[in-house]
Structure 1
């Protein structure tokens, strides 16, 4: 509850919400947004899954003194949510939050004191299922006779783009594609040397280092870019930024461009800001909804690389199977993390699942430390992890729309978002991840990375190699060289990588969508052991369910770097963890460039062999087939020295 000394008798307050306009991020047919304010106890707004917002427009500024909300009619159901208010539908402040597990069928009541036109409720969790619901929401207070709302020009407030002081080459238009059922005024333009001026922008004493904006593009071609300069106090004044803008996943995106100058004092205090178009594709036009000048959230201090865990001396490593790439409706998948972890463990029988939402689809995706979704997934993963039985892991998928590709990040406190435009220079991204030696990174689906194909894994960088440990293999989609084309390409260019078998789930079925698995060799199923295995390439791909593989050269397990010797002693063991009805039929030893160096024919459910080969390659790995063509392929063992 939020309490407040009230200056008037609360009994005299007016019900402001009745008959007003309600909208929602999503709604189920028959459970539209307006049913939360229709005064009936048997109707509600509903959306699935939770983490959806509902909003009321009071149509004018009001003094709000009381709010009541009912999210359930069931005595054993509780809901988490937070309530925000706004004057302009751009800048929001949180006024109430419910995060406990109390159940109040009659709802909650909040006595408050603020002025607003808009009030928004975001449902962040429902104990009884995926559906978010509001049965009743009431707002009490008084209408306020105030002049037109004037936006703030103080950092970090969002400024409507149409609140300019001078403009050339841009014009105002009305659009209806920003929010369902809503029309907004935006600027449109983009010809070279056109500009917009905002006078008296207060960067504050703390200063700013990023320009953010809600940008739209009329042409869907992502290669058609617009370059915008940021200058201070004059059209030829100090240049503090150059931002390359292009369409991302959708027509509209919030993008952040870096602001910097050798004289850091320029980015403090009050300035006139000039936004100048310097380069533009003739057919592309830029739309701007709002702008903000901010100091972005600082990244946490890097942790040193964890010390290696010694190998077990008297036994083999154990092998566990899981999926290191999956999504829920917290980005562009289905369902919620809680159910994804449970499905993977209890229905699919996985030992681990990583939820890796697209970083550009989090809330506050330019401020990792403000994202509630990011925090909530981590809390759910902690709740669902039972070390020794199941690991619920969290990563993030950095997603580029400039045809570079996608990468998963693990073991980081934060996520990285390419909507922060400096990261569209891949070298900048790589330089950043080098600073986090304990982090783990995975190249995702190189077969579908657009024209750039992860820049063909070039150039090789030994420092990036220390944190980049995994590359996805998928023979279902990428059939070149039996699914190993990109894996071999990366190995040949010097990268030390493990092949990962993931499902990239966007439609649920976490672990049952297909038979692709990532296998890890660990002594104990703990997060510490798991990440140690990945860092040291004790990982392999398998599409043959439950197939366990131990691969050694000169007594060293897969992922090892061993000294060169004239002859190498190979040891391979393979067996099924459960009886699948399949048999092993062939094993192949691979060297550089995808060459098969040695083939062994098998007809057994369990196989073990040792043999010698001359040492002529920089690396070796093994591929083992079962009778239906599905297979496992291991991490290499690399040979050091000449």
Structure 2
């Protein structure tokens, strides 16, 4: 009993008044207010999935953490979160996680902890009362440890500070104040070819290291100014096991991963001396480095076989409208997935919404299997889906900043992040997604993809064509190039894709930001029916609200591939599924190179057209105009020899 009392006496409140900072702060609710000892003050940030940090000032043995995220007396709302502890502000150990979906006990929650560290981080992952998360009180209890020289630990896959080198030439230390809000870090910089860093006794262990990871920054924000960093073993001129072509991504600082390969696998194991050498630096550029790590890349999941096609309905296909490209505050938008799905369904009246966060902005962006955001979006989508009423879909936007473009992936169990440098080789990326025959791929906004424009859809690849299903149209952002220009270009090069209308929401208004929509033709509004429609290109673009279009050739619905015939019997039926007061004023049948094969003026809120054409092109699709210039463009019917 006496020993227990002595231990209790040694336990002290470690957190009161310690320095705190946060990823986001609502004005008047600064991070420091979470540790000021006042019950009516709090830190607040928005939307949820924001972190809050505290520096205890020195090494401590933490034995208990108390956390209160709701105001005293507030009984209805609840917050989910996890708490981590670190000794270096780089490597974090989980101390506690709160995943309950019911209001917590009054007065907060207390967690037993048995960890040594200097830093405490809380990441708040959900708040039932809205997007703003709060910490009213955080108290860390334990014992301060005697001051000691930090031990540099370079065991894979731990991160270590780049500034903790053993020898260097051409690199200089500096204090980086833009790595994350509220603090500064020691970092390195060099713009001189031939500069090098030496890290002795790096323990590559036996985990199968195949990546060098790091937080890299760039003095010049011009993405074209690249740096080539070599990874060499044991000597400055030793075996080169990695070549990282680095360039500025979305922001100055990014977590990037480059592939490592050695002539013999055992060379990337055990304890080695590692040299990092700047082989090539664009004029005026400087490479900045905050931390480094040697790791094993996370494998992608096993592919699923392509689902069997669903039978055609006994009657006509039903048409539903939605948006297949949107963002929330979990990447670079605003709001939360809950808010987005509810807004799309109940305010905008959409039948489906896909949230497609940027793959480089997920937590654990280099390890998809560890991402809580990825799991939470899937859970939210499952909770918000009500088949035959509303589909809450999800995907990821693979995002390149090397002027290639962006692509959405759907129906995959993972996301692919181009911050893994191997995916900046587009042929390698395409080879990867071809391994997933059940996946759905979409070319996003080719009109704004920089100099490369998705490589002009070259070269045509019949295997890739099996998973490439959609391409975006947006005449609002670009009247000329955002119209049919890239759609027709892709069709002429042989791709079997359907045009879709997406809002790419970054400022909320999911479904009301503009009138762009995707129409899908299905028997029922279910997830299985939806993906079946997209796989078979039964989808179309419309900026004319509620305009339902059925287009057939020789009885085959849009998206079909049929044998070539000397004549083609065309049927087009269109009507507004809800009264809009608008009229259909023109119908065009469009073939290769965007040539109009047939046109007819019209003036009604319904259209029923039948015609026969001779020797049709390799494909034909329909474009319908509304009197105000808004239009719908269908997927083609393709003719095959």
TM range (shorter): over 0.9
SS of the aligned residue for 2:412 comes to coil
1:556 matches 2:559 = no
TM-score by length of 1: 0.98
1:292 is matched with: 293
SS of the aligned residue for 2:532 comes to helix
SS of the aligned residue for 1:392 comes to strand
Gaps of 5+ in 1: none
2:279 is matched with: 278
1:640 matches 2:640 = yes
Cα displacement (A) at 1:8: 5.2
1:122 is matched with: 123
2:620 is matched with: 620
Distance 1:534 1:6 in 2: 66
Cα displacement (A) at 1:101: 2.2
2:13 is matched with: 15
- For residues 230-629 of structure 1, the aligned pairs below 5 Å read 230-312=231-313, 314-480=314-480, 483-629=483-629
State which drifts further: 497-506 or 161-170. Answer: 161-170
Distance 2:195 2:482 in 1: 53
Distance 2:621 2:8 in 1: 75
**Once the two structures are superposed, what CA deviation does each residue of 1:75-99 show, in whole Å capped at 9, x if it has no partner?**
0111100000001101111110000
Give aligned pairs, total. 636
Q: Is the 8 A contact 2:539 2:635 kept in 1?
A: yes
Q: Is the 8 A contact 2:25 2:43 kept in 1?
A: yes
SS of the aligned residue for 2:225 comes to coil
Gaps of 5+ in 2: none
**Once the two structures are superposed, what CA deviation does each residue of 1:142-197 show, in whole Å capped at 9, x if it has no partner?**
11103121131100100100111111111111121112231211111132221111
Distance 1:130 1:148 in 2: 42
Q: Is the 8 A contact 2:244 2:259 kept in 1?
A: yes
SS of the aligned residue for 1:484 comes to helix
Distance 1:262 1:548 in 2: 59
1:86 is matched with: 86
1:170 is matched with: 171
Distance 2:410 2:20 in 1: 39
Structure 1 residues 6 and 436: CA distance shift in structure 2, 3 A: farther
SS of the aligned residue for 2:32 comes to helix
Cα displacement (A) at 1:10: 3.0
Distance 1:11 1:78 in 2: 33
Structure 1 residues 434 and 163: CA distance shift in structure 2, 3 A: same
State which drifts further: 251-260 or 266-275. Answer: 266-275
Structure 1 residues 7 and 590: CA distance shift in structure 2, 3 A: farther
TM-score by length of 2: 0.98
Structure 1 residues 467 and 7: CA distance shift in structure 2, 3 A: farther
Cα displacement (A) at 1:7: 9.1
State which drifts further: 261-270 or 90-99. Answer: 261-270
Q: Is the 8 A contact 1:587 1:601 kept in 2?
A: yes
**Once the two structures are superposed, what CA deviation does each residue of 1:36-82 show, in whole Å capped at 9, x if it has no partner?**
11111111111111111111111111111111111002101111000
State which drifts further: 319-328 or 279-288. Answer: 279-288
2:36 is matched with: 38
- For residues 144-163 of structure 1, the aligned pairs below 5 Å read 144-163=145-164
SS of the aligned residue for 1:375 comes to helix
Distance 2:426 2:127 in 1: 39
Cα RMSD, aligned residues only: 1.3
SS of the aligned residue for 1:450 comes to coil
Cα displacement (A) at 1:612: 0.1
Distance 2:212 2:610 in 1: 61
